[in-house]
């Protein structure tokens, strides 16, 4: 097993990329990753939408963050996706088409109920909301297993490093629609300020309309792929017909995990995001709490999206080469350092953003310049590391069981991101110090408050 993996890595390193004849496959992968990015974008949009609702706590946010966990659990069923399929229909299409169709159906169901879950009775039904988005993410994670495996055989052997570029660019495009446009078009303040001549209540596009649109889009696009795209493998006839059963695939997975180099890599990936998990998962929510208008933050995020789409293409020159991990390690110290500026940004937000008697934001130019520079640097470094990581995974993965191999590496990476995200959100309330705006000594007790406290204490 070890010799086979080593041979595969060496062969991949000796090949130079050549995209001639692979452009259609590149566009197909970008489309599939875009659909995945839309669903992941919804998971990013929901915490911001929930944060603007009454009675939403950080504990609610921590509960909803569990919706992200399926991408950290997909290794449990990845060998099944790799092993069970209808050969005539296609190894990857056997899973891709039904999963994406079901995902679209659940989005339609969510669209029908989303207003009741969020806006009815002045409270958020966080349990059913979290469960529904957990299920959609579960399906998206299964789609990811199929697409990652397909990418290793869909592209020519020398081009597999570009799978990470397709992944990152597709996620950015999908995130633009699922995250940025969802928040902006659903924002009453943004729509009244920039899109309407006469102020009206609510956003220009409701949340349920957005979910309806993407529910139908998933079903239509999936149907077209099923009808128009024939699955052809780039593997040799011998490798392509060597089919492993479920038991053999799980055994192969166990053998991969036992490799000394993989054990070291797993530990590194689990600890990888500890240094910047708080800045990635809490910064946005804290900025909103401190007074930064949601639509202003989304406008800045929107302005960065062309860069997010182009960055993977630009850095692919370095990350799709023979040493993507070296490219990652060179940038990692700068990624850690960017967290210092994110923390400083949160600290100064309440001091540099405020309204005078005319309702104008004071010192906004200084603050927004600092905000834009900080977010841009953080996003640039984050995307560089993401593309380099995915490029490294594609380089060392054996395409004969690529779905399982890629999923194992991605799963460990996602676990490292998920457990640190949930932990950081859970600790926010414990580590937050609140002060009274009218009392510098932070002594807000009054006779009524004292009576209420005693009543709760003794009853």
Residue 444 counted as domain residue? no
Q: What is the mean pLDDT of residues 60-81?
A: 85
Rounded CA-CA distance 384/323 in Å is 14
**Strands, E assignment, 54-99:** none
Burial category of 217 from C-beta neighbours within 10 Å (exposed 0-12, middle 13-18, buried 19 and up): middle
Is residue 386 situated within a structural domain? yes
Please report whether residue 440 resides in a domain: no
Which pLDDT belongs to residue 433?
Answer: 67
C-alpha–C-alpha distance, residues 169 and 308, integer Å = 7
What is the pLDDT at residue 456? 45
Residue 38 maps to a domain: yes
The model's pLDDT over 356-398, given as tens digits with 9 standing for 90+, comes to: 555 444 556 778 888 888 888 888 888 788 888 887 887 787 7
**pLDDT tens figures, 120-163:** 777 788 899 999 999 999 999 999 989 988 888 888 877 777 78
Instruction: Determine the pLDDT at residue 246.
Output: 82
Residue 457 lies inside a defined structural domain of this protein: no
Q: Which of 215, 212, 217, 206 minimizes the C-alpha distance to 183? A: 206
Q: Kindly indicate the confidence band of residue 215, based on its pLDDT and cuts at 50, 70 and 90.
A: very high
Question: Is residue 125 helix, strand or coil?
Answer: coil
320-325 long-range CB contacts below 8 Å, 24 or more apart?
320/17, 320/161, 320/162, 320/164, 320/165, 320/391, 321/161, 322/13, 322/395, 324/161, 324/164, 324/388, 324/389, 324/391, 324/392, 324/395, 325/388, 325/392
Greater pLDDT, 302 or 36: 36
**pLDDT reported for residue 192:** 84
Question: Higher model confidence: residue 103 or residue 349?
Answer: 103
CA 328 – CA 386 distance, rounded (Å): 8
Q: How many CB atoms lie within 10 A of CB 236?
A: 10
Supply angle C-alpha 412, 10, 19, rounded to 5: 85
Tokens of 257: 């995990």
Does pTM top 0.75 for this prediction? no
Rounded CA-CA distance 402/400 in Å is 6
Domain with 124, as residue range(s), is 2-431
Give dist(CA 65, CA 419) in Å, integer.
10
Instruction: Write phi, then psi, for 40 (nearest 5 degrees).
Output: -65, -30
> Is 50 exceeded by the pLDDT of residue 13?
no
**Tokens (6 digits) for 260:** 């000394």
Q: Give the pLDDT of residue 378.
A: 85
Residue 138, pLDDT score: 94
- Residue 42: pLDDT band (50, 70, 90) is very high
The CA distance from 92 to 147, in Å, is 7
What integer pLDDT is reported at residue 134 of this predicted model?
95
Q: How many domains does the chain have?
A: 1
Query: Is residue 449 situated within a structural domain?
Result: no
Q: Which of 45-49, 162-166, 213-217 has the highest mean pLDDT?
A: 213-217
Instruction: State the DSSP H helix or E strand holding residue 47, giving kind and residue range, or none if neither.
Output: helix 23-51
Position 123 scores a pLDDT of 75
Question: Which among 170-179, 192-201, 229-238, 380-389 has the top mean pLDDT?
Answer: 170-179
Residue 103 has pLDDT above 70, yes or no: yes
CA-CA distance, 261 to 269, in Å (whole number)?
A: 12
**Higher-pLDDT residue of 31, 329:** 31
Examine the pLDDT at 15 and tell me if it is beyond 60.
no
Most confident stretch, 31-35, 66-70, 147-151, 455-459: 31-35
Tokens found for residue 27: 């566009």
Q: Output the pLDDT for position 189.
A: 80
| DSSP structural state of residue 436 | B
pLDDT tens, position by position, 307-351: 777 777 777 766 666 677 887 888 889 988 888 888 888 888 877
CB neighbour class for 18 (10 Å; exposed up to 12, middle 13-18, buried from 19): exposed
Mean pLDDT across the chain, nearest whole number?
A: 79
pLDDT at 440 over 60: no
Highest mean pLDDT among 13-22, 169-178, 206-215, 350-359: 206-215
* Cβ within 8 Å of residue 88, ≥6 positions away: none
In a domain, 442, yes or no: no
CATH code of 305's domain: 1.20.1250.20
For 362, left (φ over 0), alpha (ψ -120 to 50), or beta?
Answer: beta
Highest mean pLDDT among 104-118, 161-175, 359-373: 104-118
Query: Residue 38: which pLDDT band, with cuts at 50, 70 and 90?
Result: very high
Tell me: the pLDDT tens digits for 233-251? Answer: 655 444 554 567 788 888 8
């Amino acid at each position: 097993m070890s010799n086979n993996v080593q041979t595969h890595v060496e062969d991949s390193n000796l090949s130079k990329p050549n995209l001639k004849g692979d452009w259609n496959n590149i566009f197909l992968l970008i489309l599939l990753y875009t659909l995945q990015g839309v669903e992941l974008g919804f998971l990013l949009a929901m915490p911001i939408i929930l944060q603007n609702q009454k009675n939403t706590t950080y504990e609610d946010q921590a509960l909803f963050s569990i919706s992200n966990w399926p991408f950290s659990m997909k290794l449990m069923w990845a060998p099944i996706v790799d092993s069970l399929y209808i050969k005539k229909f296609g190894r990857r299409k056997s899973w891709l088409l039904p999963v994406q169709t079901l995902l679209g159906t659940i989005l339609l169901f969510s669209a029908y109920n989303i207003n009741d879950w969020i806006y009815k009775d002045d409270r958020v039904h966080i349990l059913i909301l979290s469960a529904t988005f957990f299920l959609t993410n579960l399906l998206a994670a299964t789609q990811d297993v199929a697409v990652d495996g397909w990418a290793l055989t869909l592209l020519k052997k020398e081009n597999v490093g570009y799978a990470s570029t397709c992944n990152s660019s597709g996620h950015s495009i999908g995130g633009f629609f699922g995250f940025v446009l969802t928040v902006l078009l659903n924002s009453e303040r943004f729509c009244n300020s920039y899109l309407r001549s006469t102020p009206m209540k609510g956003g220009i596009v409701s949340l349920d309309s957005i979910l309806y649109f993407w529910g139908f889009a998933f079903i239509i696009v999936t149907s077209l792929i099923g009808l128009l795209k024939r699955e052809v493998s780039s593997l040799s006839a011998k490798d392509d017909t060597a089919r492993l059963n479920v038991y053999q695939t799980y055994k192969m997975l166990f053998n991969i995990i036992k490799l000394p180099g993989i054990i070291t890599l797993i530990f590194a990936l689990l600890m990888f995001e500890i240094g910047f998990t708080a800045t990635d998962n809490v910064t946005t929510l804290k900025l909103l709490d401190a007074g930064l208008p949601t639509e202003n933050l989304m406008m800045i995020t929107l302005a960065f999206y062309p860069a997010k789409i182009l960055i993977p293409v630009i850095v692919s020159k370095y990350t799709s080469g023979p040493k993507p991990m070296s490219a990652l390690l060179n940038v990692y110290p700068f990624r850690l350092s960017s967290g210092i500026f994110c923390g400083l940004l949160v600290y100064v937000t309440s001091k540099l953003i405020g309204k005078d008697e005319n309702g104008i934001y004071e010192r906004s130019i200084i603050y927004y310049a600092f905000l834009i520079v900080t977010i841009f640097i953080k996003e640039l470094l984050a995307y560089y590391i993401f593309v380099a990581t995915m490029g490294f995974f594609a380089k060392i993965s054996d395409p004969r069981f690529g779905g399982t191999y890629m999923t194992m590496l991605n799963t460990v990476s996602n676990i490292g991101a998920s457990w640190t995200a949930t932990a950081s959100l859970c600790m926010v309330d414990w580590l937050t110090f609140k002060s009274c705006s009218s009392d510098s000594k932070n002594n807000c007790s009054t006779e009524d408050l004292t009576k209420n406290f005693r009543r709760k204490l003794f009853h």
